[in-house]
């Protein structure tokens, strides 16, 4: 991030109200459709060559936290494979910023819930970019917040778990043969893993599973020199929010945090850089909360 005089974290980014805008839940949310665009660090993030010469595969990298991480990794010297479902316009914007940083970018559209797609993503990454050093399991689906548990349909549960859990298992399994000592796996969990909201209980449950996945996999891979960690964000201003909540809820999103605002994706990226780089080389099996002051436990 850019340096200078310390900023008051309460006012360092935009505060509510946000535009009372929603996006349909039956197709992927898109950053290109947002009236108030997230800050993904394009004007502020400064790299320091901490990932020079490495290759990262990031899922959900078309927008939101994934795009911010892709930009930061590129400015730190990494080539980036950008995995996403079908948000081509958003993904091409991420690709543009990676290339603007002087690094190679590889677009990988497809359904992460398909094991063959995950295997193909890894194969193309290794073949095109020359290896794989950092895997970021960030892709997620979150449906609309509901009034009652019985409103969460079996079809919704299956879709949420297919994207958030099954895809993470499939992709990690495909990547492991290519990960050598010094490699890193990073997973995006959430404060929802610790303080679940009933209206999105299917999503919150998957985030709890990602927490368990991270800590369990680290026990196997850390002795082999492969670090496994996760970042647990609090409220973050991304397209997913407009897809999941009513316009009135979107307008007030983040007001209940100690800082009285949501985070911007740019404020999450440094945590991923720290855990991916040698700065975090003695950290494994950890969940790093970036919650704006809300305790994880």
Q: Rounded to a whole number, what is the distance in angstroms from the first to the last CA of the chain?
A: 28
- Tell me, rounded to whole angstroms, the distance of Cα 25 from its chain centroid: 19
Residue 229 exposure: Cα atoms within 13 Å on the Cβ side: 23
| Interatomic CA distance for residues 240 and 233, integer angstroms | 13
- Residues 38 and 240 sit within 8 Å (Cβ to Cβ): no
Residue 234 exposure: Cα atoms within 13 Å on the Cβ side: 21
Asked about 194 being catalytic, the answer comes back as no
C-alpha closest to that of 273 among 70, 103, 99, 129: 70
Element (H, E) at 288: strand 287-290
Catalytic pick from 45, 84, 194, 203?
Answer: 203
Helices 64-75, 269-276: axis angle to 10 degrees equals: 50
Q: Which residues of 97-129 are buried (b: 16+ CB within 10 A; e: fewer)?
A: bbeebebbbbbbeeebbeeebbeebbebbbeeb
- Residues 254 and 247 sit within 8 Å (Cβ to Cβ): no
Catalytic sites, residue numbers = 203
């Amino acid at each position: 991030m850019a340096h200078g005089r310390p900023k008051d974290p309460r006012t360092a980014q935009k505060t509510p109200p946000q535009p009372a805008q929603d996006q349909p839940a039956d197709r992927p949310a898109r950053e290109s459709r947002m009236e108030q665009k997230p800050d993904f660090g394009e004007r502020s993030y400064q790299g320091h060559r901490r990932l020079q010469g490495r290759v990262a595969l990031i899922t959900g990298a078309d927008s939101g936290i994934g795009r911010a991480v892709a930009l930061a990794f590129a400015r730190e010297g990494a080539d980036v494979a950008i995995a996403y479902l079908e948000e081509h316009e958003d993904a091409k914007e991420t690709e543009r910023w990676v290339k603007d940083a002087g690094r190679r970018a590889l677009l990988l559209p497809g359904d992460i819930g398909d094991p063959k797609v995950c295997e193909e993503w890894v194969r193309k990454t290794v073949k095109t970019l020359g290896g794989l050093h950092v895997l970021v399991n960030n892709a997620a689906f979150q449906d609309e917040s509901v009034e009652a548990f019985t409103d969460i349909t079996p079809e919704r549960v299956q879709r949420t778990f297919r994207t958030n859990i099954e895809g993470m298992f499939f992709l990690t399994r495909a990547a492991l043969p290519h990960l050598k000592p010094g490699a890193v796996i990073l997973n995006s969990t959430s404060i929802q893993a610790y303080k679940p909201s009933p209206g999105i209980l299917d999503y919150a449950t998957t985030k709890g599973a990602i927490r368990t996945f991270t800590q369990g996999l680290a026990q196997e891979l850390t002795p082999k020199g492969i670090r496994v960690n996760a970042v647990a964000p609090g409220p973050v201003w991304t397209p997913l929010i407009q897809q999941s909540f009513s316009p009135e809820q979107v307008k007030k999103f983040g007001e209940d945090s100690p800082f009285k605002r949501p985070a911007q994706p740019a404020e999450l990226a440094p945590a991923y850089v720290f855990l991916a780089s040698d700065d975090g080389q003695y950290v494994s099996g950890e969940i790093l909360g970036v919650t704006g002051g809300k305790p994880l436990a």
